[in-house]
Amino acid sequence: MKNDNYVCLGVIRKPVGIRGDVKIHPYTLSPATFLTYRDCLMLDSQPLTCVSARVGKHGSIIARFNEFQSRCRVEPLRMCRLFVPREKFPPTQQDEYYLCDLDGLDVLSDSDGKLLGKVLSAQDYGAGAFLEISLLDDKESYTLPFHKESILSVDLFAKQIKISEKYLISSSISGKSFSKC
């Protein structure tokens, strides 16, 4: 579900036990933050009723949903993303962004403002955020760390991001596809 009215809060990794519990990898800064949104989660456009949720090992969330009460029912949910309506989130401060807002932005050069490509996705797997960028004249995708030295400016209204070209790093993730629900 790609919709500007929703924010992806995490992804279901795998079933846990036989009663329908699932292990969730949260995209929040802390697992406790994820738990504050547990009553407004959606799987695609289906609202979920969370009957229990707790922090698991290594920052994961273990949750059970009323709609899926057995291991057989949750098994097909591997790698499905969980969403929350955007209005549930607080507004961002200056120089603060939700990663989903960076997807699809035009990438401009720092030297001459020339269009270089587009942001395919913004990700954070725990070691810091990065952008996957597709360049206009290259079939490869590249990663760029999301920090002040590599990202010079972000303009969400103009839908563009200005980068320092010296930070583009060849990526090993190009050519791989990611599971989608």
Q: Which tens digits make up the pLDDT trace of 114-137?
A: 898 999 988 877 677 889 998 887
Q: Is 17 left (phi over 0), alpha (psi -120 to 50) or beta?
A: left
User: Cβ neighbours of residue 141 under 8 Å, at least 6 residues apart?
Assistant: 120, 132, 133, 134, 135, 171, 173, 174
CA proximity to 20, closest of 60, 62, 68? 68
CA proximity to 61, closest of 35, 37, 86, 88? 35
Query: Of 3.60.150.10, 3.90.850.10, 1.10.220.110, 2.40.30.60, which CATH number belongs to 6-88?
Result: 2.40.30.60
pLDDT of 84 > 70? The answer is yes
pLDDT of 158 > 50? The answer is yes
φ/ψ of 128, rounded to 5, equals 125, 155
Fold observed for domain 99-170: SH3 type barrels. (2.30.30)
pLDDT of residue 48: 92
pLDDT of residue 72: 94
CA distance 154 to 152: 7
> To the nearest whole number, what is the mean pLDDT of the chain?
84
Torsion, Cα 132 167 151 116, to 10 degrees, reads: -60
- The domain segmentation of the chain, as residue ranges, is 6-88, 99-170
φ/ψ of 98, rounded to 5, equals -80, 135
CA distance 83 to 4: 11
- Please tell me which residue, 67 or 126, carries the higher pLDDT value: 67
pLDDT of residue 169: 52
pLDDT of residue 76: 93
